[in-house]
Amino acid sequence: MSQNQVLAGFHAVTARVRHAPQSIRQVYVDGQRRDKRMQSLIDRMVKAGVKVHPVDGARIDELAGQARHQGVVALVEPIDLAQDLDDVFEGMAEPPFLLVLDGITDPHNLGACMRTANAAGVHAVIAPKDRAVGLGTVAQRIACGAAETTPYLMVTNLARCLRDLKARGVWIVGTDERAEQTPDQVDLSMPVAWVMGAEGEGMRHLTRELCDMLVRIPMAGSVESLNVSVATGVCLFETVRQRRVVTSR
């Protein structure tokens, strides 16, 4: 039981039964909730051969911890989508498209970044093991199932990982409000790894030095910066736009 992970909320649990039902060990639901959404989830679990336990709200709260659970909690085995960069690059038939998070500590921001990365078709999200949050219950709930299909690699040495990416022909692009270029002014159809800095502090000094180029997101209003997950969306989908243009030629 101690090796299991906890998933909380409809999105996270539904995504797991869709992508890897064999990894689900137990599902606990609020026995007082009998609405259509809950019944639909229960029917899906039963069809997948997963045992569902109706329990009281206190038990659900205990299992979910600080996470918002909506009356649904699942105990699951961790999924290893990719162990390292070799796994990520194996069999890749298109230019690599990666997201590097340099020290994101807020699980809500991590979950939102994972969700955006998944929507943009990013091949993997990379983060350092130190000074960064892992894919816990809160992050997985916010990710809305993205963690089930987008690899999240936590590396011991981020600088070494960036050098490895550069050796593989990947361009490292960081964001900096003082940069001269904007995302639409650089070629993002090439193999690219976007680097987004931590909340408030931005990228660490060594990470910045390892970037091949820096860009800034143009700001027209009075605010000075964007939330890291919003900035991530801007950069990733500019990459998606450019690659679609190239493909359509």
- Helix residue spans in the chain (DSSP H): 10-19, 36-47, 57-64, 85-89, 107-120, 137-143, 158-167, 205-210, 228-248
Is there a binding annotation on residue 221?
A: no
Q: How many whole angstroms separate alpha carbon 173 and alpha carbon 28?
A: 43
Query: By three-state DSSP, how is residue 26 classified?
Result: strand
Q: How far apart are CA 76 and CA 227, in angstroms?
A: 31
117 in Cβ contact with 150 (< 8 Å): yes
Q: Has 210 been labeled as part of a binding site?
A: no
**135 known member of a binding site:** no
Measured distance CA(148)–CA(12) in Å, rounded: 8
Measured between alpha carbons, how far is 245 from 88 in angstroms, rounded to an integer? 25
Rounded CA-CA distance 22/4 in Å is: 13
The answer to whether 28 touches 13, Cβ cutoff 8 Å, is no
Residue numbers in the known binding site are 197, 217, 226
Residue numbers in the known binding site for S-adenosyl-L-methionine are 197, 217, 226
